[in-house]
Amino acid sequence: MKENKLSKLSFEELKKNEKNLKMILFAFIGVLCFLIGVIIYSIVKKGITAIIIIPITLLPLLILFYNNLNDIKSEIESRK
């Protein structure tokens, strides 16, 4: 179903979506790195707490963003 949606977009729209998704992905990776740093600091200072769950629960979103980016890249490559 997603392939049908991507195939209906123009080349310019695909490039715009790719650029936006790259920015979102890099920002999300930055936030995850920050959270991991906070968790390491928290573990050192207070021991293991429930906050370590947050980055683990956000990993599926990272995978989803990455897969969407790959789908857009493959659609762009198929049009060249």
Residue 71: per-residue pLDDT: 92
Per residue in 13-68, pLDDT tens?
999 999 999 999 999 999 999 999 999 998 999 888 888 888 889 999 999 999 99
Q: Is the pLDDT of residue 2 over 80?
A: no
Residue 33: per-residue pLDDT: 94
Show me where the domains of the chain are located: 2-79
Distance CA 41, CA 51 (A): 11
| DSSP string over 6-74 | HHHS-HHHHHHHHHHHHHHHHHHHHHHHHHHHHHHHHHHHH-S-GGGHHHHHHHHHHHHHHHHHHHHHH
Residue 79: per-residue pLDDT: 85
Confidence of residue 69 (pLDDT cuts 50, 70, 90): very high
Residue 1: per-residue pLDDT: 42
Global pTM value: 0.79
Residue 62: per-residue pLDDT: 92
